[in-house]
Amino acid sequence: MRRTALFDTHSRLGAAFTDFAGWSMPLRYGSDLAEHHTVRDGAGLFDLSHMGRIRVSGDPAFLDWALVGRMSAVKVGRAKYTMLCHTNGGVLDDLVVYRLAEREFMVVANAANAAVVRAMLGEHSNGYDVRVDEQPGVLIAVQGPMSLDVLGTGADLPYYGIRPDRLDGREVLLARTGYTGEDGFEIYCSAGDAPAIWEWAAARGARPCGLACRDTLRLEAGMPLYGHELSVRSTPFHAGLGRVVALDKPDFVGAAALRSVAAAGPETLLAGLVTEGRRAPRAGYRVLHEGTDVGVVTSGALSPTLGHPVAMAQVTAALAEPGTKLAVDIRGTRVDAEVVALPFYRRAR
């Protein structure tokens, strides 16, 4: 099992660990609900070093070809949410791509897909003047409304902006990105500096948080998780994320398949569901309409913030409209569900 540079820090804090894509990662330090609420009303501290980081140096036209978004249009110091698709249009991973300089990009991939993303970028780079390299280091996130107070810098950094900065005297890349639905920052630093930066942020009020609450936070925020809402068997359009596909680009990997789905419309769509009671729909549970199977739950939990169950499900496109009455088979019991617009939770600004 791979360990991050912060493994000993987590052990000292008494973390419960979980195997995540071959990495031993903190699942929770104490109460996952308390960690969830901290991110909603304070500041949480996450080790995300398992995520893949790939440095792409060279011709920006390469990423326009390899990814579905128009990455050459991203300004230096800004980031864009995008996807890597198969030629058949299926999603291989969702990514955040930061433009660090005119010809320098950092691609951040899901841990489970990092090797695939790196291999596919390498393959697609044939004929382009680019280098694709693994980028070492650590990724720490500070998320929540008190994040700015913790860091003491970054107020002028726009959402989805990135810049070099110093934290506790140490050089970092500071990005205003995250996966929780709150204001927050992601800090790219060296493995050597990571323990000190972690301790510094914790001492300034950020509470260590594990992957358990990261999942409920992103679910409330309606953000997709690869392997649940996204997979190679469906396109960005199926996940309601067709906006990330720049169909007007001349050509790119997956263009023909994606144009055809965009024109015909996907047969199924991602929908937000809310249910009564406290038993949550879970991934894999059947979704029904008037007794007929119309879809499957991709993620679900009792929302810690809202106090009722929320779920995302891939359902027949015509039934994905907010207000539609559906049902979920929760371990043999049919529970009424209503389609609602995503996200379930939106922070006050």
For another protein, the binding residues (CB under 8 A) are: 16, 27-28, 31-34, 36, 212-213, 215-216, 278-280, 282, 301-302, 304, 331
* Distance in Å, CB of 270 to another protein, minimum: 21
Spatial CA neighbour of 219 closest among 42, 20, 39: 39
**Residues near 75 by Cβ (< 8 Å), separated by ≥ 6?**
99
Judged by beta carbon, residue 67 or residue 313, the one nearer another protein is 313
Judged by beta carbon, residue 257 or residue 296, the one nearer another protein is 296
DSSP secondary structure, 179-223, as one string: SSSSSEEEEEE-TTTHHHHHHHHHHTTPEE--HHHHHHHHHHTT-
182 is in an annotated binding site: no
Cα 38 off chain centre by: 19
38-to-21, 147, 205, 236 alpha-carbon distances in Å: 26, 11, 10, 32
Do 314 and 268 contact (CB within 8 A), yes or no? yes
* Distance in Å, CB of 227 to another protein, minimum: 15
Judged by beta carbon, residue 129 or residue 336, the one nearer another protein is 336
146 φ/ψ angles, rounded to the nearest 5 degrees: -95, 10
Judged by beta carbon, residue 153 or residue 305, the one nearer another protein is 305
Judged by beta carbon, residue 18 or residue 57, the one nearer another protein is 18
* Distance in Å, CB of 264 to another protein, minimum: 37
* Distance in Å, CB of 27 to another protein, minimum: 8
* Distance in Å, CB of 335 to another protein, minimum: 13
Which amino acid is present at 25?
M
Which residue ranges make up the annotated binding site for substrate? 186
Which residue ranges make up the annotated binding site? 186
